[in-house]
Amino acid sequence: MAKIEGFRIKNYRVLKDITIGKLWNLQKVKPLSPLTAVIGKNGVGKSTLFDAFGFLSGCLNNGVEQACDVSKRGEFKRIRSQGIKDPIEFEIYYTQDGKSRPITYKLAIDLDKTERPNSKKHERND
């Protein structure tokens, strides 16, 4: 089973730039353990963090536009952190089966020329 060692989320609602666990450029940080608890004050972004994974999954399975328009999320302009013009970005550092070399997966989403949300960068470094 795939195991997420760490991830970074940028400009997704209240989460302007958070990194949890280990990334390819943060090799000294411990990877996430199989059980991770998220604790914090009201409004810090706990629910947003979990929704970010739902959003990412929706982007990959159904396309970016549809993931943005899921009713409870609202349109792209409401999902991107307020006052920010940069893309929403995800970086996930994971192993395919828990043993092999970790892979970095990156996705950046922004409005295209026609004002429709689209993936700008979509890469996997094995």
Ligand X SMILES: Nc1ncnc2c1ncn2[C@@H]1O[C@H](COP(=O)(O)OP(=O)(O)OP(=O)(O)O)[C@@H](O)[C@H]1O
* Nearest to Mg ion of 24, 50 (CB atom): 50
Cα–Cα distance, 17 to 48 (Å, whole number): 13
Q: What is the DSSP string of 10-22?
A: EEETTEEEEEEE-
Nearer to Mg ion, 34 or 43 (CB): 43
Q: How far is the CB of 70 from ligand X (least distance, A)?
A: 14
Contact residue for ligand X among 25, 33, 66, 82 (CB under 6 A): 82
For ligand X, the binding residue among 42, 61, 71, 114 (CB under 6 A) is 42
Q: Taking the alpha carbons of 70, 73, 49, 111 in that order, is the dihedral positive or negative?
A: positive
Give yes or no for residue 71 binding ligand X (CB under 6 A).
Answer: no
18 touching ligand X, by CB under 6 A = no
Q: Which does 81 bind (CB under 5 to 8 A by kind): Mg ion, ligand X, none?
A: ligand X
Between CA 57 and CA 78, with CA 61 as vertex, the angle to 5 degrees is 55
Tell me the site size for ligand X, rule CB under 6 A: 13
Asked whether 104 and 96 are in contact (CB, 8 A), the reply is: no
From CA 86, how far away is CA 35, in angstroms rounded? 32
Among 24, 25, 33, 47, binds Mg ion (CB under 5 A): 47
What's phi and psi for 9, nearest 5 deg?
Answer: -125, 130
List interacting residues with ligand X (CB under 6 A): 13-14, 40, 42-48, 78, 81-82
